[in-house]
Structure 1
């Protein structure tokens, strides 16, 4: 059975983002992203909500075409594109990049996904 692992970035005082969805305080350097890439490579899917998915889809599909991009970011772009993604949203009607939209959180459906073979 696969594990469901929660990863989130939150400040010590409980903030995920600033006004206007500002996430500039999220500081991910090459060392941290290299470590995360090692973990992401062993996973079998990403699960997220609509806003996180839209943020990711706004940059990672073509990010590695930037010749200035550091190697760990280039690697993550490939991992993100190739990884199956499940997006929980009641408003999103479709998404690209190997993404399945799930409109309601149904515990039995999550259990079915978790029971499928695959990485951690």
Structure 2
């Protein structure tokens, strides 16, 4: 059975994107960028919602070929291309690269994928992750908190019908006061 992790950057007040889908407050330091790259390299299957997929796929397939691409960017782009991806969308008609499209019920498919053998899965995109959280599919949360208050936007955590008990398994501070907290779900 695969483990499912939900990890994203968030503002201190709990938003993954500020109003207008503004992400400018979450630019990672070199050290944090390397941490994200290592996560991608350790992922067996990445699950994407449509909006996150469109943003990532617009940049990373060719990011290593851009003038001035750093070794870290080259490494991340290679890792991102290599990891198998499942994109969940009711509006897309096709995806490319090392990805396949799921247009049906996301929770049903994530449950099926989780039951398979294989490496760890990461879910990204607030809407898709919210469905996984509410369905009780997430095993671990990697919360990368940036020291900024954005006042609104897209929340990291969805509203829940019941409490979820967590165990802290890691904390780490990155340059600029960014703090990683990793929690495992107590089952």
Equivalent positions of 1:1-120 (< 5 A) are 1-120=1-120
Cα separation, 2, equivalents of 1:4 and 1:89:
19
| TM-aligned CA deviation for residue 19 of structure 1 | 4.1
Which structure has the larger Rg? 2
**Which runs of no fewer than 5 residues in structure 1 stay unpaired?**
none
Instruction: Kindly report the root-mean-square deviation, in angstroms, between the aligned alpha carbons of the 2 structures.
Output: 1.7
Q: Contact 1:30–1:70 at 8 Å: present in 2 too?
A: no
Q: Relative contact order (C-alpha < 8 Å, sep 6+): which is higher? A: 2
Task: List, as ranges, runs of 4+ consecutive aligned residues in structure 1 with deviation greater than 4 Å.
Answer: none
The total of aligned residue pairs comes to: 120
**Which runs of no fewer than 5 residues in structure 2 stay unpaired?**
121-187
TM-score (norm 2): 0.59
SS of equivalent residue, structure 1 residue 41? helix
TM-score (norm 1): 0.87
SS of equivalent residue, structure 1 residue 6? strand
Q: Contact 2:88–2:106 at 8 Å: present in 1 too?
A: no
